[in-house]
Amino acid sequence: MKTSIATVSISGDLREKLAAIAAAGFDGVEIFENDFLAFDGTPAEVGRMVRDHGLEITLFQPFRDFEGLPEPQRSRAFDRAERKFDMMQELGTDLMLVCSSVSPVSLGGIDRAAADFRELGDRAAKRSLRVGYEALAWGRHVNDHRDAWEVVRRAAHPNIGLILDSFHTLARKIELASIRSIPSDKIFIVQLADAPLIDMDLLYWSRHFRNMPGEGDLPVREFMRAVAATGYNGYISLEIFNDQFRGGSAKAISVDGKRSLVWLMDQVRREEPALKVSAPAMPDRIGVEGVEFVEFAANPEGAESLGRLLTTLEFTQAGRHISKDVTLYRQGEINIVVNTERQGFAHSSFVVHGTSAYAIGLKVEDAAAAVARARTLGAEIFHQRVGQGELSIPAIRGVGGGLIYFLDGKTDLAKVWDIEFKPVVAADAGSGAGLTRIDHVGQTMFHEEMPSWLLFYVSLFRTTKTPMVDIVDPAGLVRSQVIEGLDKRVRLTLNGAESRRTLAGHFIAETFGSSIQHLAMATGDIFMTAERLKANGFEPLQISMNYYDDVEARFGLDPDLADRLRVSNILYDRDDKGEFFQLYAPTFGEGFIFEIVERRGAYAGYGGPNAPFRIAAQKRLMRPEGMPKV
Ligand SMILES: O=C(O)c1ccc(O)c(O)c1
Ligand SMILES: [Mg+2]
């Protein structure tokens, strides 16, 4: 498997782009003409710079509006091509991409285009160069790879071949089986891009919204399976025009790009075993059995106020770490760890973010396999010194630089609570309020980070992503998408803030970065839980009375049920599979959310329709912007 990426896909100047592309482990790079034109150096210098990074130039592009022209434009197009050939030879690349013409003066006609390419092939051959023809989805006469292939076939020239680009083919929903019969030696390179499904003009969609394979909604995997069926084993090259990527971190986007290709080929390899697809060997996607714990980093004051809240929620102090300042709170299968160490990663997290949930522990089928897969996908493996008598729990870096620990039942890892913690016999041991397990964990991030983290989770774990929904915050939109395990034992909601004035945006700003903001815990009987908590002095988030009148009318609720919701500040939702109840604690710190939920039947959602009303209630409690923290 040889990977390449077009320079247009990432931000920075050419020097920065090449450094990021090389660091992410690509083998080659497509030089986009504008990146070259903007660079203050000769083609030879660019070529040397590329090769000094250990990269190969896979092609130069784009050469536009070449085929089907009348004279005198036709001769001028050949002159232009010769000038670019000169430059390519200095640069040190042998392949030029010609995209199908959009010129209003081009005449059309498959044979005319084929004749133009045959002549261009002769000229290229004199210099040992090759030319690949790509159908733009909005090309004037050729906008379908089947027609581009017919032009190439009729040109019948060894130096003329076809370039496939998944976007152009998939955007027009062209039948993929048509790729399977193209001879692989006539496919000069394959460009890959995905995109979210948006109904808009093809050119605008392509130039602004492409993203990495696996980040969007197009069947790039099916496209690649068809390409693999031809026997093609050359470069796969990302060509991603995306406004956010152009403004993002070149390093991070390059890592995502490499990850997307490694994952794509891993899937193709598994789905087409007979084709002997070359792709890095790694364990299959990892099954997640649940969220075993959430860990907070705190100072003593933060730990005390968090402890108070957990105690009101009827958690029990179940253990103290054998050697560290770490306390375990437990209720049902929910483990909340509070770390007040003065050194190590937790402490650094506290110094940067304040009291925050900096780590989660996932119970997986096989922790060692999880690390092996993560490493192959380019995740950062986390190492920290392990004290005597402690387990070395494998971990990787996740959202906002936080940690994801892996525990499994194959080793002693699942016994961490017995091995590393001493039981505490607390006088005020809570008897529990019926909380059983973690229903979902919410991570808040900037909107533009979402595709990256979706790819991270879905490529690593046996999970799927739900469609994007908009959560309406009074101060702006928050986009939300959920990563769900196939059996729903793990659910991670990703919330992308577009404005810092939203609750999510405020949280990111005040805690200096993306992280876990929300913990939803399940109960089997929310009214019982609400009663117990009330008796324990818990004061729920106060929901507007107007909300209840609406819910009662909207769902035609029994007035008794509506009253019980009202009295306990419980939110209600329903879908065609079941019902959903939500009870919130007042926000903690700079907007951390503890939520209690009950799912009845097979309700599949997250109470999205209720979000504007609980966010408004949460915001009533927040420190107004600009006021000092107390
Ligand atoms: O948007 C374009 O013009 C354009 C140019 C070259 C390509 O390879 C492509 O896929 C699109
Ligand atoms: Mg292309």
Between the CA of 6 and the centroid of ligand 2 the distance, in Å, is: 9
Spacing, Cα 564 to ligand 1 middle (Å):
59
> Does the CB atom of residue 121 touch ligand 1 within 6 A?
no
**Contacts with 619 (C-beta within 8 Å, 6 or more apart), sequence order:** 474, 475, 503
CB of 134 sitting under 6 A from ligand 1? yes
Q: Which residues pair with 6 in a beta bridge?
A: 30
- Which tokens sit at 189? 């390179």
**62 Cα nearest atom in ligand 1:** 6
CA-closest candidate to residue 325, choices 307, 338, 306, 311: 338
Percent of the chain clearing pLDDT 70 (strictly above): 98
What's the pLDDT tens digit per position in 279-335? 999 999 999 999 999 999 999 999 999 999 999 999 999 999 999 999 999 999 999
131: its two tokens: 């030319």
Nearest-CA residue for atom 9 of ligand 1? 136
Pocket test for ligand 1, best of 206, 211, 223, 246 (most atoms within 8 A of CB): 206
Region at 290 (left for phi over 0; alpha for psi -120 to 50; beta for the rest):
left
The whole-number pLDDT of residue 181 equals 97
> What is the reported pLDDT for 622?
75
Q: Is 191 annotated as a binding residue?
A: yes
Closest atom of ligand 1 to 193 CA is 10
Residues 6+ apart with CB under 8 A from 511: 353, 354, 356, 589, 590
Counting DSSP H helices and E strands in the chain, the numbers are 22, 26
Neighbours of 454 (CB within 10 A): 23
What integer pLDDT is reported at residue 626 of this predicted model?
56
Output the pLDDT for position 588. Answer: 93
Q: Is 145 annotated as a binding residue?
A: no
**DSSP states of 273-325:** GGG-------PPPBPEEEEEEEEEE--HHHHHHHHHHHHHTT-EEEEEESSSS
Q: Where are the alpha helices (DSSP H) in 109-249?
A: 110-126, 145-155, 166-171, 177-180, 202-209, 220-229, 243-247
pLDDT score, position 628:
57
* Å from CA of 555 to ligand 1 middle: 50
* Cross-strand pairs, 580: 573, 599
**Residue 36 carries which side chain, given as an amino acid letter?**
F
Q: What are the residues whose beta carbons fall under 8 Å from the beta carbon of 424, sequence distance 6 or more?
A: 317, 318, 319, 320, 327
For the chain, list the domains and their CATH numbers: 2-275 (3.20.20.150), 288-423 (3.10.180.10), 435-621 (3.10.180.10)
Q: Ligand 1 pocket test: which of 136, 167, 205, 238 has the largest number of ligand atoms within 8 Å of its C-beta? A: 136
Q: Please tell me the distance between residue 187's alpha carbon and the centre of ligand 1 in angstroms.
A: 17
Does the annotation place 168 within a ligand binding site? no
Q: How far is the CA of 35 from the centre of ligand 2 (A)?
A: 16
pLDDT tens figures, 233-288: 999 999 999 999 998 999 999 999 999 999 999 999 999 999 989 999 999 999 99
Q: Which atom of ligand 1 is nearest to the CA of 206?
A: 1
Residue among 203, 205, 239 to mutate when testing ligand 1 (max atoms within 8 A of CB): 239
> Residue holding tokens 């396999």?
369
Q: What is the CA radius of gyration of the chain?
A: 28
Compute the distance from residue 210 Cα to the ligand 2 centre, in Å. Answer: 11
Phi and psi angles of residue 108, each rounded to the nearest 5 degrees, phi first: 80, 180
Task: Answer whether 62 contacts ligand 1 (Cβ < 6 A).
Answer: yes
- For residue 191, the ligand closest to its alpha carbon is 2
* End-to-end Cα distance, the chain: 56
What predicted TM-score, i.e. pTM, was given to this entire model?
A: 0.95
Strand pairing partners for 479? 470, 496
ipTM of the complex: 0.99
User: 165: annotated binding-site residue?
Assistant: yes
Helices (H), 158-249: 166-171, 177-180, 202-209, 220-229, 243-247
Q: Residue 430: count other Cβ atoms within 10 Å of its Cβ.
A: 19
Question: What are the C-alpha distances in Å from 612 to residues 180, 469, 474, 507, 541?
Answer: 49, 13, 7, 16, 14
| CB atoms closer than 10 angstroms to residue 2 | 15
Q: How many CB atoms lie within 10 A of CB 310?
A: 24
593 vs 133: CA distance, rounded Å:
54
Rounded Cα gap, residues 97 and 129, in angstroms? 11
Which residues in the chain show pLDDT less than 50?
A: 630
